[in-house]
């Protein structure tokens, strides 16, 4: 029997469809995996199902009946529970207070005592144990997730949506979670499991729906499919473009990383014991699904995040733990991810942004005074060289399109003779023209002798630009290979944490 | 012996009277801020409450009707604040300061007719020759503390002020809760103002709030957003206020007038701030919640 059916779901954000005609069905007692790359529309779809977004078109059927879900409250009433990737818990409150929050039927006085008693029941039944009086901010990620599960179950969830549930868990915690989920489905509950990790899908799910760019790329029964087939569905098999890279012998070593361990925001190591090097005139491409330590690696290399331990040598100088400005002086440049947030100051002009990393030094600053004319001249030269539109140094950077913001950042960072360029998702969200432009500039810098560390989820891009390719998974490089005759599907498997054949 | 006892009792009595409006205002501000709404319009709402209370009591001869009018005036101004800062998501700091100016301005104009008019009616003392509003403030302290930390409403209010997204996902009406808490805060500020013009200095003088609204905002932080600590803080500040009269023979009056404000600064420095500690501010304080935004 079908527990849930979605028909023709469509949702646009600013004219761009995040979901486009999606059909999905889940049978009772089934673990259904929703698989796809980042930005494929998985989370949007589940937020629609949970009433956080309204769909522009399409219908939702629960237990065969059409359901109007306008708010999470409606979803809860229909027995739908969701555990978000970023937990929706109140850090200062206790676990029991979080359970009591917004719960129907709790007593008016001392609701947390009542919640604590209910928590005991679920601890016994599913092995979901969390101390009721513990403040949430003191709980580990795994415990917080358990608390989210308890919250959903106490609200009577019969269909659980889990968004990337293992991304914050250790292996042991993930195994525990899987055991709990199996116990739940054995009692007739259904689970939708959002992930991009192929190995988990094969291990846990019964049925799989693959999303790609907001559409259903295919569905499969887990028993009848292979990780390879799923990888093809996720990316879409397009022929690999011939590498435009000129072959050239790399120069001396510019970056050497040894034993690098970097903690993520949650305190667990995001990068563990990493060791690699990049040479002058070489592009090292780091492929991998976001959230496997790439951001933390880039931040450590550019001075934004202090590594726990390990060594980062730039042209022989130890640079671990130095700040951004010191690293810049060593020739490190950064083309950051989330460019509107980390790359430019949106409320400042193009001219001000053009000198953002150098405003304190001549010729832009003399005796503590900024030289507006010099900044303007600098911006005009960037605008001319990089074709930034609109061609106005006074324009607010935040009003520029994504492609033009990236041109501005690239112009600022690639200026002069950089020793190392750390480029993170440099073409993410850009149109074809801007993408080409950015890639050509990176290859140009490589030809001029810069070492380039390219971090990207776009396998196509990594294969086209890199001299060597590393696959990053859970804070480590699974493999570093020369970029010659690499099999895309095998890399895809590695990105999902699978073992090489 | 007798004289010094008399002086002590007199000082205590005056301190309690000076503390009452501070306590009322702070309880209100604690509620608003716990729900995530910073209301810097307290000073204006107090002034509006003072003049509304005085004029209603003057017209009807009943201090109770005066107090009700003061509460209504404060709540009405607070609803303006709620409309702009919660419904329209405007900047709460700008909006609150604008309301302070508005409240002071309106009360000045409205009160012009009452300048120099003594208030004919007073509250009857209920116990130990104290006015009933003082006891009401004590009861409200206990009630608010209980509501905030021991009941379902309290969990809802605190959650909305800590993490509105989580509260929304749990099915709580975030904006409605914030509007109600803001209105309650304004009502309490209005009552504080009414206390000033009905009990403390039973008359209307323009500028009679004398920065007490700002002290309330400082006291809210000093109290760590907790009603009983607000009670202690209000008594302390009431005492400081009264010490002006005690030491006026020994000290420059200018220095003494400065005391409550200087003490506010010191208290704020001393209370310090941490992210998770017991006296940390509500995490979503002054941050408007926009539903469904990516």
- Tell me whether residues A89 and B166 touch, CB distance under 8 A: yes
Q: Is B170 on the interface with A (CB under 8 A)?
A: yes
Residues of A with Cβ-Cβ distance to B150 under 8 angstroms: 109-110
pLDDT of residue B202: 83
Hunting for tokens 């009943």 — which residue is that? B62
Residues of B with Cβ-Cβ distance to A89 under 8 angstroms: 163, 166
> Would you kindly state where each structural domain of chain A is located, as residue ranges?
2-235, 262-337+418-495
pLDDT band at A501 (very low <50, low <70, confident <90, very high): very low
Name the fold adopted by A262-337+418-495: Rossmann fold (3.40.50)
Structure tokens at A262: 């970097």
Q: Which of B41, B44, B77, B81 is nearest to B207 (CA)?
A: B44
Task: Determine the residue among B33, B149, B170 to mutate to test chain A binding: the one whose Cβ has the most chain A Cβ atoms within 10 Å.
Answer: B170
Contacts of A42 (CB under 8 A, 6+ apart): A34, A35, A36, A163, A194, A211
- Tell me whether residues A111 and B152 touch, CB distance under 8 A: yes
Q: Compare CB distances from B155 to A13, A91, A111 and report the shortest one's residue.
A: A111
CA A377 to chain CA centroid, nearest Å: 37
- Tell me whether residues A110 and B150 touch, CB distance under 8 A: yes
pLDDT band at A125 (very low <50, low <70, confident <90, very high): confident
Equal fold, A2-235 vs A262-337+418-495:
yes
Q: Is A134 on the interface with B (CB under 8 A)?
A: no
| Domains by residue range for chain B, with CATH | 8-115+125-271 (1.10.3470)
Task: Determine the residue among B153, B171, B177 to mutate to test chain A binding: the one whose Cβ has the most chain A Cβ atoms within 10 Å.
Answer: B171
Sheet containing strand A253-263, edge to edge, reads A269-279, A253-263, A309-314, A317-318
Hunting for tokens 């000290």 — which residue is that? B251
Q: DSSP assignment of B151-191, as one string? A: BHHHHHHHHHHH-HHHHHHTT--HHHHHHHHHHHHHHHHHH
Distance from first CA to last CA of chain B, Å, rounded? 71
pLDDT band at B166 (very low <50, low <70, confident <90, very high): confident
Using CA atoms, how far apart are residues A276 and A62, in angstroms rounded to an integer? 51
Residues of A with Cβ-Cβ distance to B159 under 8 angstroms: 90, 93, 97, 101-102
Predicted TM-score (pTM) above 0.90: no
pLDDT of residue A225: 87
The Cα of B156 is separated from the nearest Cα of chain A by a number of Å equal to 6
Q: Is A88 on the interface with B (CB under 8 A)?
A: yes
CB pairs under 8 A between A and B: 76
A455 membership: H or E segment, kind and range = strand A451-456
Backbone dihedral region for residue B26 (phi beyond 0: left; psi -120 to 50: alpha; all else: beta): alpha
Using CA atoms, how far apart are residues B173 and B167, in angstroms rounded to an integer? 8
Pick the CATH number of A2-235 from 3.30.420.40, 3.40.50.800, 3.40.50.300, 3.40.50.720: 3.40.50.300
Choose the most confident range, by mean pLDDT, from A132-136, A440-444, A481-485, B21-25: B21-25
Least confident residue range of A206-215, A236-245, B83-92, B136-145: A236-245
Q: Is A68 on the interface with B (CB under 8 A)?
A: no
The Cα of B281 is separated from the nearest Cα of chain A by a number of Å equal to 10
The Cα of A184 is separated from the nearest Cα of chain B by a number of Å equal to 22
pLDDT band at B271 (very low <50, low <70, confident <90, very high): low
Q: DSSP assignment of A226-272, as one string? A: -HHHHHHHHH---PPPPP-PPP----SEEEEEEEEEEE-TTSSEEEE
pLDDT of residue B1: 43
Using CA atoms, how far apart are residues B135 and B129, in angstroms rounded to an integer? 11
Least confident residue range of A60-64, A184-188, A233-237, B56-60: A233-237
Q: Is A84 on the interface with B (CB under 8 A)?
A: yes
Q: pLDDT tens digit string along A343-372?
A: 899 889 999 999 998 888 888 988 888 899
The per-residue pLDDT of chain A, averaged, comes to 86
Q: pLDDT tens digit string along B210-226?
A: 889 898 998 898 888 99
Contacts of A41 (CB under 8 A, 6+ apart): A11, A18, A19, A20, A22, A211, A213, A214, A215
Using CA atoms, how far apart are residues B191 and B204, in angstroms rounded to an integer? 15
Percentage of chain A exceeding pLDDT 90: 34
Using CA atoms, how far apart are residues A379 and A371, in angstroms rounded to an integer? 13
pLDDT of residue B76: 94
Burial of B97 (0-12, 13-18, 19+ CB in 10 A): middle
Q: Which of A43, A55, A52, A336 is nearest to A196 (CA)?
A: A43
Q: Is the pLDDT of residue A498 over 70?
A: no
Q: DSSP assignment of A334-390, as one string? A: EE-SSHHHHT--TTSBHHHHHTTTTTTSTTTEETTEE-HHHHHHHHHHHHHHHT-SS
Using CA atoms, how far apart are residues B209 and B48, in angstroms rounded to an integer? 10
CA distances from A367 to A161, A298, A326, A354 (A): 59, 33, 21, 20
ipTM of this predicted structure: 0.80
Give me the mean pLDDT over the B82-92 stretch.
88
């Amino acid at each position: 029997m079908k527990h849930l059916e979605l028909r023709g779901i469509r949702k646009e954000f600013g004219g761009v469809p995040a979901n486009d005609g999606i059909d999905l069905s889940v049978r009772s007692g089934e673990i259904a995996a929703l698989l796809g790359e980042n930005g494929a529309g998985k989370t949007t779809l589940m937020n629609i199902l949970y009433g956080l977004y309204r769909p522009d078109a399409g219908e939702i059927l629960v237990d065969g009946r059409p359901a109007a879900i306008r708010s999470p409250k409606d979803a809860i009433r229909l027995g739908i529970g969701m555990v978000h990737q970023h937990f929706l818990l109140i850090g200062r409150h206790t676990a029991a207070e979080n359970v009591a929050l917004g719960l129907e039927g709790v007593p008016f006085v001392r609701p947390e005592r009542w919640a604590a008693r209910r928590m005991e029941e679920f601890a016994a039944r599913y092995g979901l144990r969390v101390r009721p009086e513990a403040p949430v901010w003191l709980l580990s990620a795994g415990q917080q997730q358990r608390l989210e599960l308890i919250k959903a179950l106490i609200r009577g969830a019969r269909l659980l949506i889990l968004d990337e549930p293992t991304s914050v868990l250790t292996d042991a915690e993930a195994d525990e979670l899987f055991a709990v989920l199996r116990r739940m489905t054995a009692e007739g509950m259904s689970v939708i499991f959002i992930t991009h990790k192929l190995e988990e899908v094969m291990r846990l799910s019964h049925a799989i729906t693959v999303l790609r760019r907001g559409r259903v790329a295919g569905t499969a029964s887990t028993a009848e499919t292979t990780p390879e087939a799923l990888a093809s569905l996720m990316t879409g098999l397009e022929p690999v473009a011939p590498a435009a890279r000129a072959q050239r012998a790399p120069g001396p070593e510019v970056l050497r990383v040894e034993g690098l361990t970097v903690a993520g925001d949650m305190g667990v190591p995001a990068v563990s014991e990493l060791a690699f090097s990049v040479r002058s005139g070489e592009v090292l491409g780091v492929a991998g699904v976001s959230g496997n330590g790439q951001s933390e690696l880039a931040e450590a290399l550019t001075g934004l995040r202090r590594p726990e331990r390990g060594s980062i040598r730039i042209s022989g100088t130890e640079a671990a733990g130095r700040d951004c400005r010191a690293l810049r002086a060593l020739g490190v440049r950064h083309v950051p991810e989330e460019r509107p947030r980390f790359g430019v100051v949106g409320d400042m002009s193009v001219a001000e942004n053009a000198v953002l990393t150098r405003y304190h030094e001549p010729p832009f600053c003399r005796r503590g005074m900024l030289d507006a004319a010099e900044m303007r001249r600098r911006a005009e030269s960037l605008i001319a060289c990089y074709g930034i539109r609109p061609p106005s140094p006074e324009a607010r950077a935040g009003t520029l399109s994504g492609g033009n913001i990236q041109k501005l950042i690239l112009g600022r960072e690639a200026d002069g003779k950089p020793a190392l360029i750390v480029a993170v998702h440099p073409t993410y969200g850009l149109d074809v023209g801007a993408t080409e432009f950015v890639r050509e500039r990176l290859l140009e810098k490589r030809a001029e002798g810069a070492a380039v560390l390219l971090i990207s989820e776009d396998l196509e891009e990594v294969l086209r630009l890199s001299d060597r390719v590393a696959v990053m998974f859970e804070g480590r490089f699974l493999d570093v290979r020369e970029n010659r005759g690499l099999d895309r599907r095998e890399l895809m498997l590695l990105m999902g944490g699978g073992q090489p054949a | 012996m007798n004289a010094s006892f008399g002086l002590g009792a007199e000082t205590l009595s005056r301190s309690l009277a000076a503390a009452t409006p501070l306590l009322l205002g702070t309880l209100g501000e604690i509620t608003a801020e716990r729900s995530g709404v910073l209301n810097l319009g307290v000073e204006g709402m107090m002034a509006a409450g003072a003049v509304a209370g005085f004029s209603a009591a003057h017209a009807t001869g009943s201090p109770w009707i005066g107090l009700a009018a003061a509460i209504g005036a404060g709540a009405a101004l607070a609803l303006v604040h709620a409309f702009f800062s919660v419904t329209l998501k405007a900047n709460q700091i700008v909006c609150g300061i604008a309301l302070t100016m508005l409240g002071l301005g309106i009360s000045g104009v409205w009160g012009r007719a009452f300048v120099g008019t003594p208030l004919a009616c007073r509250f009857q003392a209920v116990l130990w020759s104290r006015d009933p509003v003082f006891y009401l403030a004590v009861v409200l302290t206990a009630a608010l503390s209980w509501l905030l930390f021991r009941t379902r409403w309290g969990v809802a209010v605190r959650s909305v002020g800590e993490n509105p997204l989580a509260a929304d996902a749990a099915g709580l009406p975030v904006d409605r809760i914030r509007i109600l808490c803001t209105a309650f805060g304004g009502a309490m500020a209005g009552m504080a103002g009414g206390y000033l013009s009905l009990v403390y200095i039973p008359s209307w003088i323009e500028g009679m709030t004398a920065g007490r609204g700002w002290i309330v905002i400082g006291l809210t932080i000093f109290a760590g957003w907790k009603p009983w600590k607000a009670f202690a803080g209000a008594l302390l500040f009431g005492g400081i206020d009264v010490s002006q009269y005690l030491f006026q023979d020994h000290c420059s009056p200018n220095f003494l007038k400065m005391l409550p404000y200087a003490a506010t600064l010191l208290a704020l420095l001393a209370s310090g701030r941490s992210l998770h500690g017991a006296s940390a501010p509500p995490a979503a304080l002054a941050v408007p919640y926009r539903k469904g935004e990516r």
